[in-house]
Amino acid sequence: MVVMLTHDFVGYLLNKFINRFNLSTKGRRFTNLLKYSSISDKINKVKSGELSLKDNISELLSRIKANKHLNAFNFVFEVDSLKEAERIEVKIKSGTYRKLAGAVIAIKDVLSIKDKPTTCSSKILKDFKALYTATAVQKLIDEDAIIIGKTNCDEFAMGSSNENSAFGNVLNPVDNSRVPGGSSGGSAAAVAADLCDAALGTDTGGSIRQPAAFCGVYGFKPSYGRVSRYGLTAFASSFDCIGTFTKNIEDAALILEVISGKDNLDSTSYDSPVPEYSKNLSTKKKFRIGLPKEYLGEGLSEEIRNAIDSLAKELSSKSFEIIHISLPHTEYSIATYYILTTAEASSNLARYDGARYGYRSENSGTLIDMYKSSRSEGFGTEVKRRIMLGTYVLSAGYYDAYYLKAQKVRRLIKNDFDKAFEKVDLILTPTTPTTAFKIGEKSDDPLEMYLSDIYTTSANLAGIPGISFPYSKDSNGLPIGLQFLAKQFDELSLLQMSYYL
């Protein structure tokens, strides 16, 4: 007789076996983590009594300790998360729970949580505790999510490898000798290593999508304005977006549904009803998909190029229309991005002076000495580099030549996308030119590091949404992530296409 063993039945047998022979905590932790496939499934398992939320949190905390070498977390809220687990489990069993009940979510350490450290992975904010909670985080809490900790990142979200943190490098869980990507590398690594159910990150020029590709998870960047930026420590205010890292599309849709919407505390937030993403993932629509020639040229790894070709052929065979398009101003995106973002960064970081909060140098004679010493000692190399670049392009005599010209090119890049979306519904591109590179490989060459974002910065310049999804692996077993882009505020099409895949 052939017996078909379902996932639930296997879990049941394993738990019986563990209980019978009193196996190790490691074994129990492994099976409990595999007992649910999504946040919704997790809620159902808790309701039925198959899963203890407190045990689940305990197991995740044990995993965080066992994977401390990854350096994914700056701070872990062990006591708070266990207390919340008990409270929310009661709500689930009494039927008074909310959408994200029991979801264990990590938060990038540039988002504020009241009375918790917010350091932006910088020495200059050492020991600083937030006075209020970011809107996006508060929305998670209001829907009964459990915040397990704050994740490591490049200092002030400036970097593409997570090698620029005052807390040290984050390691890629797939291969510890490689970077996890940046700047949201800690969030990506935490999700990829099963240290939480999902994580929030921020994307200024690819800082969600690039690490998602390197770590083999889903990284979703919404349209600019879809999610409130209130409580986010800004890198570049006209670029920054808060988005998600998840293991599946269902969770990405559910979390995005929760954190999106108009916020009176953020004048740039979009005033429009939020679609019920999680209830509309299935679609029979055959999207028109654009392939931009500028994204498939020199510098792209042959294995990633083959992945794009393979997916395009697969979709074509399923009656999706593949259309070759051009985004002619793409070649200027990196230069435009770094001129504008460094200008905004130099302005945003002027407030960190050692006077009001954060790190203050002991080498402080006059007031000017205090400013100089505190900023020199408190900021890392990459942050100083970008402050200097930004100050330069905003200075008298260079403003028109660089900053003003870059703003005009930004408009041309947005116009390219507007024209493309008259012909296509979605645009398919690589997320990164290569798979995850070795730690230290590009740290001595800032320009080469900046080119890691060559396929992601355009979306931020245009304000459009994008998703990086794990597609395959290269010959070294490293994840290959591909990217879909959509027109502004059409996040649903991205979710539907990814769900279809």
What one-character-per-residue DSSP string does 390-411 give?
Answer: HHHHHSTTTIIIIIIHHHHHHH
Cα 270 to Cα 266, 354, 466, distances in angstroms: 9, 35, 17
Left if phi > 0, otherwise alpha if psi is -120 to 50, otherwise beta: which for 49?
A: left
Q: Annotated catalytic, 207? A: yes
Catalytic residue among 121, 207, 260, 498: 207
| Tokens matching residue 289 | 């998909």
What one-character-per-residue DSSP string does 122-182 give?
Answer: -GGGTT-B-SS--HHHHHHHHTT-EEEEEE--SGGG--SSS---TT-PPPPSS-TTB---S
Q: Annotated catalytic, 493? A: no
Beta strands 426-430 and 479-486, pairing class = antiparallel
E strand or H helix that includes residue 75 = strand 73-76
Q: Annotated catalytic, 108? A: yes
Amino acid at 372: K
E strand or H helix that includes residue 253 = helix 249-259
Helix 381-394 vs helix 333-348: crossing angle, to nearest 10 = 100
Instruction: Tell the residue number behind the tokens 């882009």, with chain if given.
Output: 485
Select from 33, 30, 49, 36 the least CA-distant residue to 8: 36
Amino acid at 79: V
The whole-angstrom separation of Cα 124 and Cα 359 is 5
Catalytic residue among 165, 183, 452, 468: 183
Contact 187, 104 (CB under 8 A): no
Catalytic residue among 35, 42, 99, 108: 108
Cα 5 to Cα 2, 17, 19, 33, 268, distances in angstroms: 9, 15, 20, 18, 51
Four-CA torsion 55, 61, 65, 66, nearest 10 degrees: 50
* Catalytic residue numbers, as ranges: 108, 183, 207
